[in-house]
Chain A
C-alpha cells in the first residue's frame, strides 16, 4: 500500500531561521499520525507545506504520491485541511448550511449533489439542527465541528487537523474525538498536530515529536512511554523537549 504522507528531509527556512529542518515523516493509509512539539517547533509550517500553502526550501513532500509543489492541484483534491484558527469573520453572516454548500461547490462536488453532501457532513458532526442559523451564533465547539464538516466534503484521503480541539470545553473535545475516531474506522488517514498530550495518546497510532524544526523521537504512544518508563505522554514530551520556555516566533 502506498504512503499517504511521505515526507523526506523536508526543510523550510525563513531568512536566517530554519523553521523545519530535514524532517522525515510518513503515514500509511488509515493511520492517525500525531505531530507534537512546543510552540514554534515547526508543526504549523510542516502542515502548511503539506497543504500546498508554502513551498519547501529543500527536501520532498508527497501526499497520496503527489508532490506538494509540482502536483499541488492533485494534492488539494485529496486533502481536507482544518485550520488551527477558526475565523468565522469571513462567513459569519452566512448560515452553517450556506457555508458548507459554498465550500462543497469549491471542492467540485457535482452540482446536483451539493445540497445532499452538505446535509450529510452537517449531520455527521451533529449540526443538522443548527444548519440554518448564522455561523455568528455558533459556539466555539460548533464552529470547530463546522470546520471539520467542511474538511470532509470531498471525501479526502488525508485529513489534516491543526489543533482541532484548541480552546474547546470537555464535552466538545470528546465530541470532536468521537468524530475523528469514526472517520478513522472508515479508513481515513489523519495528520494531527496538537499540544494536548491526552489527545495524542487517545487518538494517534504513531507520534513524531519535533523541536526546533527537527524530529526528536517517533513511535507509538506505548513505545514512547515504555522507552523511558513514563506513565504519561506529558512526561515523555518534557523528557525529550525539556522544560525551557520557547521564545522562537511562531
Chain B
C-alpha cells in the first residue's frame, strides 16, 4: 500500500519533470557548465599551496556537486509549496494515504534526479581528465554522500516550505541563504584559507562535511577522515529530517493526523 502511494506520487513528479524538457535540459547541463567555467577560470587564480593540490578541477568537483544539491533542494520543495497554495495538498490529505508518502516520494525522486546529475558532473570531469582517487567504488561512495546531502537539503527546504506564509517568502529566504551557505563552506576554498570566524561558521555547515567526504574520495583515497566527515553528515541529515518532519506535521496537523 505504502509502496503504491510512493510510486504513484513519484510518477507524478517524474511526469511533471519530463514534460518540461527545457527545464530538465538546463537543470542537467547547468552543473557541467559551472564546472567548466567556474573551475576553469578560478583554477588559474588558485595557489596550489593553499588548495593543497595542483588539480583545482578535481578539488572543485565536490563543491559543484554540493552547489547542485543546494539548488535542487529549492526545486525539491516547490511542488509542496504549490500544492499547499493551490489547495491540492488538501485533496491529497483527504485521501487514505500516509502523510509520510508525500515526503518520502519527494526524497526518492530527488535522490534519483541528483544522482543523475552527479554522474553527469563526474562524467564531464572525467572528460576533463579528473579521475577519482578511489575509483569506481569511490564514485558509488560519492553518490551515497550526495544522496545524504540531498536528504538534508530537501528536508530543510520542505520544512521552510511548510513554515512560510507564501512562496514569495520561500524564494526570498532561499535566495538569501543559498550563496552564503555555499561560500560559508569549503566548496571552493579550503577551510584553512578562511578567517577564523568563518571557519567556525563553516564547521557548523553540513555542506562542509559532505564536501570534505567527497573531496577525500576524489583526491586522497580511503582516508581516516572519511568516517568522521560522513558521521557528521549523517548527524546533520538526521537533525534536518526531524525538523522537516516536525514542520510537515505542523502544516498537516490542522488536517488531523
Chain A residues at the B interface, C-beta cutoff of 8 Å? 48, 51-55, 68-69, 72-73, 76-77, 79, 81, 83, 85, 87, 89-91, 93-94, 98, 101-103, 105-108, 111, 134, 154
Contact = CB atoms under 8 A, between A and B. Distances in A.
Closest 9 CB pairs of A and B: A87-B86, A105-B8, A90-B88, A76-B96, A93-B19, A81-B94, A53-B255, A51-B94, A77-B96
Contacts of B86: 85, 87, 89-90
A93 B16 contact: yes
A93 B15 contact: yes
A107 B82 contact: no
A87 B16 contact: no
Contacts of B94: 51-53, 76, 79, 81
B250 interface: no
Given A53-B255, A98-B11, 10 more contacts: A53-B93, A85-B87, A89-B82, A90-B88, A91-B12, A101-B8, A102-B11, A105-B5, A105-B7, A111-B4
A103 B95 contact: yes
Contacts of A107: 95-96
A72, A89, A93, A106: residue with the most chain B Cβ atoms closer than 10 Å: A106
A69 B9 CA distance: 25
B90 A69 contact: no
B interface, over-half SS: helix
Contacts of A52: 93-94, 255-256
B33 interface: no
Contacts of B12: 91, 94, 102
Interface of B: 1, 4-5, 7-9, 11-12, 15-16, 19-20, 79, 82-83, 86-88, 90-97, 254-257
Given A81-B94, A102-B8, A108-B4, A87 B88 contact: yes
16 contacts: A52-B255, A53-B94, A53-B256, A72-B257, A73-B96, A81-B91, A83-B91, A90-B83, A91-B16, A93-B19, A94-B19, A102-B11, A105-B7, A105-B8, A105-B11, A106-B5
A106 B97 contact: yes
B104 to A, nearest CB: 13
A215 to B, nearest CB: 24
Contacts, number: 85
A106 B91 CA distance: 11
Contacts of A83: 87, 90-91
A76 B95 contact: yes
A77 B90 CA distance: 15
A68 B256 contact: yes
A53 B90 contact: yes
A68, A73, A101: residue with the most chain B Cβ atoms closer than 10 Å: A73
B4 to A, nearest CB: 5
A95 to B, nearest CB: 9
B256 A72 contact: yes
A79 B95 CA distance: 8
A6 to B, nearest CB: 18
B254 A54 contact: yes
B8 to A, nearest CB: 3
B13 to A, nearest CB: 10
Contacts of A106: 5, 8-9, 92, 95, 97
A93 to B, nearest CB: 4
Nearest to A81: B94
B17 to A, nearest CB: 9
B87 A93 contact: no
Given A55-B256, A106-B92, A107-B95, A94 B15 contact: yes
A35 to B, nearest CB: 17
Given A55-B254, A81-B94, A91-B88, A102 B19 contact: no
B4, B12, B96: residue with the most chain A Cβ atoms closer than 10 Å: B96
B8, B90, B93, B256: residue with the most chain A Cβ atoms closer than 10 Å: B256
A48 B20 CA distance: 34
Nearest to A110: B4
Contacts of B8: 101-103, 105-106
A118 to B, nearest CB: 12
Contacts of B255: 52-54
Contacts of A69: 256
B224 to A, nearest CB: 47
Contacts of B91: 81, 83
Contacts of B82: 89-90
B7, B11, B90: residue with the most chain A Cβ atoms closer than 10 Å: B90
